[in-house]
Amino acid sequence: GIMFLNPDHWDVKYHLTLNLFTAAAESACALSDAALVQSFTDVVLAHSRNLDDRLPAVYFTVKSLKESRNLRLCIDCASEVLKQLGEDVSVVFNTPSKESIESLNNLLLRKMTDDSVIALGHCTQRRAEFVMRLYHELNFAFFVYDPTCLLGICFRMVSLTIEIGSTEISATAFANYGIELIARGYSIGSRLGTLALKLAENSKYISYVIAAVKQYNSWVVEPLHAIAESHLLGFYAGKKIGDEFSSSLNYCLQIITCFLCGKDLTQLNDTFNDYIMQLLESRKKWFLPQSSIFYWLVVELIEGPNFSPHDHNPNIPSELAIVAFAATAKHHELDLLIDGSKLMRSFLFRLDMSKCADVLDRVVNATCQL
């Protein structure tokens, strides 16, 4: 489509040209090609007439940076755009006061039923919708990079939804806010998880909401095998709507949850191996470290603690490689997961237990959804 345009297309066919370049950026984002997304966005930035025209292409840049795990640049880019949209990110990225949290919780608990939240009018402010979408991408980036910022982001997204009306992404706000509340001992968190699933029905964020709610919220009340089945539904839902990121996340969590609830190790060995090979063959290696960590445990339970999956299959990332990646990328969640796997290995194989107390202290004191 772009190749058919005349040389003066930005002057003569401005809106058609803008739509084509924005659609090209979106397609490149779906292919996880961050460099191609940036090339189309740069053209839009050079020729767009105002901020509103730039927002869609810039959003796809932020999303592609997140999915390519370039988290620091993702955070910087999104923060800059949010400032242009009037958001005080220095306040949002800090934990809200206990009084503010309890005030919002009381509003949700005493003055608003689930039905009244679902019945909130649809937001008609285009800029506000992009604010919500940018905060959603930041939520995942900070989950990995600096989880201490998560509560402030979720708090802002829920407050915006109540203030300006519901958007399609509001379901993710309630899902993530519920998770943060559960981690801090607020019982309303479970209710918000259920509400998020209702809000996400038939939306393009259903796969993400299933992954978030079932993994970090529902474990409080649901058996693990039921959570594993829900993740499988989330995997298929993501495939159906083209959300590869959330679909792959659900599949990874489904296998891990099957391992935790005692499914057949031989079958899990084959499933993990197939999934890891698929990740290695694609550009989308988002959950390669997490799946590899649990794959090691499965293989060691079958073959013994001295057996290395990396020696058996050099394509599987080694433990040293993943530890190095976590340190280089400042991957907070992965650091905790590595510690957790070491703790599990110590208990499973009766290894050196001297560091268990230190690991448990780190996990308990970490303000992290994990």
Secondary structure (3-state) at 261: coil
Token reading at 69: 């795990």
CA-CA distance, 186 to 212, in Å (whole number)?
17
Do 139 and 93 form a contact (C-beta atoms < 8 A)? no
User: What are the structure tokens assigned to 90, written together?
Assistant: 């220095």
User: Tokens standing for 109?
Assistant: 């608990």
Model-level pTM?
0.87
3-state secondary structure 285-314: CCCHHHHHHHHHHHHHHHHCCCCCHHHHCC
Residue 186 CB contacts under 8 Å (≥ 6 apart), including other chains:
101, 105
Helices (H), 119-223: 126-145, 150-164, 170-183, 188-200, 206-216
Do the Cβ atoms of 214 and 231 come closer than 8 Å? yes
Distance CA 236, CA 248 (A): 10
Q: Which pair of structure tokens corresponds to residue 272?
A: 């993990």
Q: Residue 312 has what pLDDT?
A: 73
Q: What is the pLDDT of residues 277-315, one digit of tens each?
A: 888 888 777 888 889 889 988 988 898 877 877 777 788
Task: Round the average pLDDT of the chain to a whole number and report it.
Answer: 88
Q: What kind and span of H or E run contains 70?
A: none
Q: pLDDT value at position 52?
A: 94
Indicate if the pLDDT at residue 7 is higher than 60: yes
Q: Which of 228, 227, 224, 299 is nearest to 265 (CA)?
A: 299
Q: pLDDT at position 368, please?
A: 52
Question: Is residue 57 within 8 Å of 22, Cβ to Cβ?
Answer: yes
CA angle 279, 241, 139 (to 5 degrees): 70
Task: Work out the average pLDDT over 194-202.
Answer: 91
Q: How confident is the model at residue 274 (pLDDT cuts 50, 70, 90)?
A: very high
Lowest-pLDDT range, 14-18, 110-114, 159-163, 298-302?
110-114
Q: Residue 126 and residue 120: Cα distance in Å, rounded?
A: 17
pLDDT at 43 over 80: yes
Dihedral through CA 137, CA 138, CA 144, CA 149, nearest 10?
-150
Q: In this model, does residue 228 exceed pLDDT 90?
A: yes
For helices 14-30 and 34-47, the axis angle rounded to 10 degrees is 160
CA distance 289 to 90: 31
pLDDT recorded at residue 248: 92
Q: What is the pLDDT of residue 366?
A: 61
Identity of the residue numbered 94: N
Over 70: is that where the pLDDT of 370 sits?
Answer: no
Burial class of residue 127, CB neighbours in 10 A (0-12, 13-18, 19+): middle
